[in-house]
Chain A
Amino acid sequence: MVPTNYYVILSAVLFGLGVFAFIFKRNIITIFMSIELMLNAVNLAFVAFSQALGKLDGQVFVLFVIVVAAAEAAVGLGIIILIARNRQTLNVERVNLLKL
């Protein structure tokens, strides 16, 4: 039996990587993926605690998160495609028309 600590630490590391990538990457697709990474890190923590505490609440949450993530991916990718078509770039630094 793997101790819960390990899952939590792995989850924290994955979440940290996601945050790091979200902040420092410029490509929209990469940023999008880092968000997915953070979501799944949280999922992992949910599942781990659910297992440790012997309750199903965590599992239920994870299912919700997966559903929302799927919806988000669908909408997000749609937006990304539109940006790519209109601006011929995927660099977030250059998607700042509203600021000007």
Chain B
Amino acid sequence: MLEYLWIIPLLPLLGSAVNGLFGAKWPNKIVNGVAIGSTGLSFLCAVEAVREFFESGQVLFRKEFFTWIAAGNFRAGFDLQMDQLTVVMVLVVTGVGWLIHIYATGYMAHEGGYYRFFSYLNLFMFFMLILVLAANYVLLFVGWEGVGLASYLLIGFYFLKKSASDAGKKAFIVNRIGDFGFMLGMFLLFRAFRTLDFQTIFTSSTLQGWPVELSGHLGTLTFACLLIFMGACGKSAQLPLYVWLPDAMEGPTPVSALIHAATMVTAGVYVVARSHILFTHAPTAMLVVAIVGCATAFFAATIGLVQTDIKKVLAYSTVSQLGYMFLACGVGAFSAGIFHLMTHAFFKALLFLAAGSVIHAMGGEQDMNRMGGLSKKIRWTYGTMLVATFAITGIPFFAGFFSKDAILFGAFQSQTGGSVLYAFGLLTALLTSFYMFRLIFLTFNGRPRFDEHHVHVHESPWSMLGPLVILAVLSTIGGWFALPAFFQGPDHFANFLAPVFVGHESAEAAGEGAAYQLEMILAGVAVGTALIGLGVAYWLYLKRPEKADGLAKSMKPVYTTLLNKYYVDELYAAVVVKPLLWISANVLWKTADVAGIDGAVNGIASGTTAIGDGVRHTQSGNTRSYAVWVVVGALVVIAVVFFWPFGGKSVLGMVR
């Protein structure tokens, strides 16, 4: 299988093409078969490839299938590679992707455009797999742009709804800003290394001999890393380019789960982790990554506190958790970042799917203020969502506990600004715990706040619950790779990724003595904050619901600021969108286009008409007036011949 790595991305592409071209007339069952079959096969192929990878001694496998672009010494090929990092990504993408495909067959059963949905979803899988399997930046960028396209198509899936099509455009445009930086970063890397192949760059002697660009020394690598991080910011929804992700919730819920929580938005983290050798040569860029990640984590969490739309809360939670991952990368704990990426893929996909199940049960209602008391009516959804909430808030022995712990530990140990980063990380953990339990309590507990006669609450079909249960299991045990580390043993996950992240692993120290004690203390503190968040949420939303409103009233300015998401959208509208629209309307449209281009075209046309109008009168049909013109012409010719005014030679002379 390893030799035929291209089959893994090809299968979803085939599924997409078949469904997209022929699916319109097929019944849903056949569309299901194609979509689930292609992704399921892709998952099996990935598992088999990973097995062979393990068997082959876990050394980087790399194969060039064909040359795509060749120009001079530059070569960009369809080259795929498999290493430990790819293993994690491929399994997450195909595995979680497959589960969500199954879920979507239940969720989308009554929607129009069924085949179109699955065609797009498979297309997304194809591009995402290209992204994680690519062995050079150019091919990675193909996947990078492709997932952006699929994301755009799926956010705007309900394209008749203006807000949905607007959200799709917003996502695409904001991503383009990041992609612009990414491309510049690639150009810079090409200039420095004369190639864009991962392996060649990372092992090149140029890089080995490259001085570490300490603070104050802003060299090529720092700029290249910052530009690549700009692309990552766009794709992974970090400050200041996060604005598209909350709006992306306009798409169907399986899309939110797959693309805007579990896989695509982690592409930025993946790229940073993949380029970790470059980043470690540029500590300034690392610091920027850490600060942006930490700021985003905190910032998004505060917005999440007050949102009432169940999917919006989860969207801001995603932005916040992505911030955690970047924080981990920024402080050099790359394996912790990837670990959190994986566990987050499990529990956030589960949260979104469970939220979708709730929305399904409520007949399309997304406002948590009109839910409540659902726990008894949809037990499975409640149970699985509770597991996911435990995982994300870091309750011990659920998946998120281990990964979040590793990140906070890494932040605490960081040389530059460690304590500040740790403090904000911990604060974010508190906020996370609060808003997640707020979500649970508002949705599932307390008294129903909807009309029970009109809303017929019903549990979802098993095609939806099955994936929920599997993901709940994964959210529970997904972090147990790191379990031995808890009892002073090895951290299997970090050790597994160690060949990729050679040389800078703080996690190894975790197993011994003082560092171990420190980690235990930090873990205890993190669990404590999570429990405080739980307690506050319980007190405010179950015990004394009236207190929550009172608190909101007494802190009205803060509350409205948070509710309006710090007015960032309004700020962007005023600073970027409005001026752009003004320039487009007044300069480009009314001046350049209407006056300039249209004016030139219309002017030539009306000028021709006017000349024709004037000359038309000479064509009178009167023979004698023609005779006049003949005479005039003859006289002119004679005059020119005999009285040539220019130079010594007459025309007559030239003729002779």
> How far apart are the CA atoms of A31 and B621 in the complex, in Å?
17
A residues 28-87 near B (Cβ < 8 Å) are 31
Let me know if A23 and B621 touch, CB within 8 A.
no
Residues of chain B at the chain A interface (Cβ within 8 Å):
621-624, 627-628, 631
> How far apart are the CA atoms of A24 and B494 in the complex, in Å?
110
> How far apart are the CA atoms of A22 and B627 in the complex, in Å?
8
Let me know if B631 and A92 touch, CB within 8 A.
no
Which residues from B are CB-within-8-Å of A99?
Answer: 621
Q: Which residue of A lies closest to B630 (CB)?
A: A19
Which residues from A are CB-within-8-Å of B627?
Answer: 19, 22-23
> How far apart are the CA atoms of A7 and B232 in the complex, in Å?
99
Shortest Cβ gap from A76 to chain B (Å): 13
Residues of chain A at the chain B interface (Cβ within 8 Å):
19, 22-23, 31, 92, 96, 98-99
> How far apart are the CA atoms of A98 and B628 in the complex, in Å?
21
Which residues from B are CB-within-8-Å of A23?
Answer: 624, 627-628, 631
User: What number of residue pairs across chains A and B have CB atoms under 8 A from each other?
Assistant: 15
Shortest Cβ gap from B630 to chain A (Å): 9
Let me know if A92 and B621 touch, CB within 8 A.
no
> How far apart are the CA atoms of A23 and B622 in the complex, in Å?
11
Shortest Cβ gap from B39 to chain A (Å): 80
> How far apart are the CA atoms of A19 and B634 in the complex, in Å?
12
Shortest Cβ gap from B338 to chain A (Å): 91
> How far apart are the CA atoms of A92 and B624 in the complex, in Å?
9
- Given contacts A19-B627, A23-B628, A96-B622, 12 further A-B pairs with CB under 8 A are A19-B631, A22-B624, A22-B627, A23-B624, A23-B627, A23-B631, A31-B624, A92-B623, A92-B624, A96-B621, A98-B621, A99-B621
> How far apart are the CA atoms of A85 and B631 in the complex, in Å?
32
Q: Which residue of A lies closest to B621 (CB)?
A: A99
Q: Which residue of B lies closest to A25 (CB)?
A: B624
> How far apart are the CA atoms of A92 and B623 in the complex, in Å?
10
Which residues from B are CB-within-8-Å of A22?
Answer: 624, 627
Shortest Cβ gap from A18 to chain B (Å): 11
Which residues from A are CB-within-8-Å of B622?
Answer: 96
Which residues from A are CB-within-8-Å of B624?
Answer: 22-23, 31, 92
12 contacting pairs across A/B (C-beta < 8 A): A19-B627, A19-B631, A22-B627, A23-B624, A23-B628, A23-B631, A31-B624, A92-B624, A96-B621, A96-B622, A98-B621, A99-B621
Q: Which residue of A lies closest to B625 (CB)?
A: A23
Which residues from A are CB-within-8-Å of B621?
Answer: 96, 98-99
Q: Which residue of B lies closest to A99 (CB)?
A: B621
> How far apart are the CA atoms of A23 and B629 in the complex, in Å?
11
Which residues from B are CB-within-8-Å of A98?
Answer: 621
